[in-house]
Amino acid sequence: MNIGLIGLGAMGRAMGANLLRAGYGLRVWNRSPERCEELVALGARKVDVPGDVASGPDGIVLTMVADDAALQAVVDGPGGLHDALGAGGLHVSMSTISPETAAALCAAHAARGVGYVAAPVFGRPDAAAAKKLFVLSAGDRTARERARPVLEAMGQTVIDLGDDPLHANVVKLGGNFMIMGMIEALAETLGLAEGYGVPRQTMVDVLTQTILPAPLVANYGRQIAEHAYSPARFRLALGLKDAELVLGAARTAKVPMPLAQLMQGRLLSAVARGRGELDWTGAALGVAEDAGRAPVKN
């Protein structure tokens, strides 16, 4: 069975490799075409315009692109999915995007008889490579069931969130927000510990040995303890984008989220200081600087 995949950043490449490994035929497109080579070497076929990844009007196309605008471009731009998919087609949208964009996309597809499944994921590129992603899935039942085996080829679990595709987008944003909150909480706690002479890593170790025995806390905690923010596993500039998606959704839902504002401010400040290419845990540098400390390395 053939599948199309649009968007070959670090995430998309790792996911595509797993699809090939699972026996799917794969056509790929990426804005910077040289990014296709890795998957082509594994058997994928590179095409010239986004819509050509579809095996036909009733094909399945996965998208994993940077943001709402990039997604919009590959859908309704020239040679886009709107031109290629028709009745029986299926768009599995895996990027972290706003619920509003998801709703608009879903409606535009429906008018053409194209199914839409929102399938954002938790996990960074190393998890994608190891087929350890957590995949969310929401949308019309038929479409969702059709997408399921494809999604299972890329992750350790597929979590079904029902018929409304926006739910997957909101849950994904909610999860990313939790991580942002964890970054701030860790940064402040480690700053406090350091202020009293407790080694930063000791504070992390106690947390993971007691109240927060989660790999995420251990991994993020270690990065923040060591101020080790490069190379980026998830770019800080993308984290700022996510904070803004969260606040946009909060605005729509009329839910004030002061912690999300705090994190948007931290990330915006980091971008203003030229740190957009660091890992997003680099937001913690702001906490250290506010305390008048120059971190040893960044």
| Chain-centre distance for alpha carbon 170 | 12
Name residues contacting its own copies, limited to 150-169 (CB under 8 A).
157, 159, 161, 164, 166-167
3-class secondary-structure state, position 213: coil
Identify whether the C-beta of residue 159 lies closer than 8 Å to the C-beta of residue 137.
yes
CB of 275 to its own copies, least distance (A): 9
- For the chain, report the end-to-end CA distance as a whole number of angstroms: 46
To the query of whether residue 132 is one of the catalytic residues in this protein, the response is: no
| Chain-centre distance for alpha carbon 243 | 12
Name residues contacting its own copies, limited to 194-233 (CB under 8 A).
194-198, 202-203, 206-207, 209-214, 216-217
Measured between alpha carbons, how far is 78 from 29 in angstroms, rounded to an integer?
14
By beta-carbon proximity to its own copies, the closer residue of 78 and 258 is 258
By beta-carbon proximity to its own copies, the closer residue of 33 and 265 is 265
Q: Is 265 in the site for its own copies (CB under 8 A)?
A: yes
CB of 247 to its own copies, least distance (A): 9
Secondary structure (DSSP) of 23-80: T-EEEEE-SSGGGGHHHHHTT-EE-SSGGGGSSSTT-EEEE--SSHHHHHHHHHSTT-
Measured between alpha carbons, how far is 110 from 165 in angstroms, rounded to an integer?
12
Q: Is 296 in the site for its own copies (CB under 8 A)?
A: no
Residue of 9, 191, 239, 282 that binds its own copies (CB under 8 A): 191
Token pair, residue 287, equals: 């906490």
Q: Is 130 in the site for its own copies (CB under 8 A)?
A: no
Identify whether the C-beta of residue 91 lies closer than 8 Å to the C-beta of residue 64.
no
CB of 183 to its own copies, least distance (A): 10
Q: Is 262 in the site for its own copies (CB under 8 A)?
A: yes
By beta-carbon proximity to its own copies, the closer residue of 1 and 130 is 130
By beta-carbon proximity to its own copies, the closer residue of 71 and 161 is 161
Given the residues 132, 172, 241, 297, the one annotated as active site: 172
- Stretch touching its own copies by CB under 8 A, among 7-15, 81-89, 110-118, 174-182: 174-182
Which residues are identified as catalytic? 172
